[in-house]
Amino acid sequence: MAEFSIIDTYFNRKSSHSVDLGVGDDSALLTPPPQQQLVICADTLVAGRHFPLNTSPHAIGWKSVAVNLSDIAAMGAKPQSILLALSLPQIDHDWLKGFSQGLYDCCDQFGVSLIGGDTTQSPHLTISVTALGWVDIGQAVTRATAQVGDLICVSGTVGDAAFALQHLGHPLQRRLDYPTPRCELGQALKGLAHSMIDVSDGLAQDLSHILKASHVGATLQLDQLPINSTLQDLTREQQWQYALAGGDDYELCFTISPQNYEKLLQQQNHSSIKVIGKIDAESGLRFQQNGLDHSLQFTGYQHFA
């Protein structure tokens, strides 16, 4: 089967969203909404590196989209479309059918269109997705504007995916295979949060990116970390290791003033949000347990380890 036959068979579904020209030409065409900025990001997943080799093709398709939509959400933006670059060791129709269905299932849930890309042969299965979204001009939430006195918050629970990776077959594996990008929450935080990042490489490491970009420090309360009840039988150190250094959760970590946090809670039900610490002026990331300083060292995910 030639490249264009693969595209026509598995990746040429007509878009139902705001796309002027999608799959099938040299480039796609989009008309930007008035007074909006383009938000764009890209992520690459490599078999055996970013997901276990026996992961179902449907889950791989879903995750390939979800991890990019999480980056869009972390800017407070609304996702709009994706581009797919797919490198395949061989043509496997069952795999392509499952993968494309997983990709489209994620796109459909979050109102996103596949508008183009590329396919080629490669010794290793590699999936690169570029995601595009829109945000009001000047309203994107970045990493560089955390303020002293901000509360540090995180959505959902952290550590689930890292635990699942070491316990394949556990019910938490769904959190590893099918992450949920927090698109609705990300958009709700536009105009409220001072800074934001998605948790992909470990909460401690990702929060440190905010601290460095904003030239501030932080203190995290270990007893306030949102840890899944499944992990409660582990030692506290094991729980903290998963929660702070595990990664692959794709939750949102953001900083917000106490006043804006109250506004957020009044807007809609955000019961999944947990306050875990506070931004302060002293550089670096510190930890406390029950109000007492606690020394911990974490590295987070290393892409070139």
223 is in an annotated binding site: no
94 is in an annotated binding site: no
248 is in an annotated binding site: yes
Secondary structure element (H or E) that encloses residue 96, with its range: helix 93-109
118 is in an annotated binding site: yes
Q: C-alpha distances in angstroms, 173 versus 59, 94, 168?
A: 11, 22, 6
CA 167/CA 139 separation, integer angstroms: 40
249 is in an annotated binding site: no
Q: How far apart are the first and last CA of the chain?
A: 37
Q: In what order do the strands lie in the sheet with 252-256?
A: 193-198, 252-256, 151-155, 273-280, 217-221, 284-289, 292-293
Tokens of 305: 């380890």
64 is in an annotated binding site: no
Who's near 21: CB < 8 A, 6+ residues apart? 27, 28, 29
18 is in an annotated binding site: no
250 is in an annotated binding site: no
Binding residues for ATP: 117-118, 143, 200
Binding residues for Mg(2+): 26, 43, 71, 118, 198, 201
Binding residues: 26, 43, 50, 71, 117-118, 143, 198, 200-201, 248, 301
Binding residues for substrate: 50, 248, 301
